[in-house]
């Protein structure tokens, strides 16, 4: 597992926890939350949005890196096949 995927998993889990806490801030009637709701709501939304953006960014980076690895493997395979065909055709024509 590459480092981008590990960070993507971490921030995805943090995003889920932040969504849960933000929902609790929006819906709770506890006196300590209700009194500070106007200051807690923007912070909860901002932190949740930040975690979601980072999770998406790291997922995209991990998938791009995986695609590069797959593309390199395919390129090497095609190169080897073409090299084999070229070598085989030279020996057969002699």
Q: Is the pLDDT of residue 88 over 60?
A: yes
pLDDT digits (tens, 9 = 90+) for 76-86: 666 666 666 67
- Sorted by where each begins, the domain ranges of the chain are 3-93
In sequence order, what are the residues at sequence separation of 6 or more whose Cβ sits closer than 8 angstroms to the Cβ of residue 55? Answer: 8, 11, 12, 14, 15
pLDDT reading at 31 higher than 80? yes
Per-residue pLDDT tens digits for 3-22 = 888 888 999 999 999 999 99
Cα 73 to chain center, whole Å?
Answer: 22
pLDDT score for 77: 61
CB 61 within 8 A of CB 3: no
pLDDT per position as a tens digit, 65-76: 666 655 566 566
More confidently predicted of 91 and 45: 45
């Amino acid at each position: 597992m590459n480092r981008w995927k590990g960070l993507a998993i971490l921030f995805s889990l943090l995003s889920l926890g932040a969504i849960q806490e933000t929902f609790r801030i929006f819906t709770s009637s506890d006196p300590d939350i209700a009194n500070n709701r106007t200051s807690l709501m923007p912070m909860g939304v901002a932190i949740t949005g930040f975690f979601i953006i980072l999770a998406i960014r790291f997922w995209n980076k991990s998938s791009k890196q995986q695609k590069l690895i797959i593309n390199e493997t395919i390129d090497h395979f095609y190169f080897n096949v073409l090299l084999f065909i070229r070598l085989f055709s030279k020996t057969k024509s002699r």
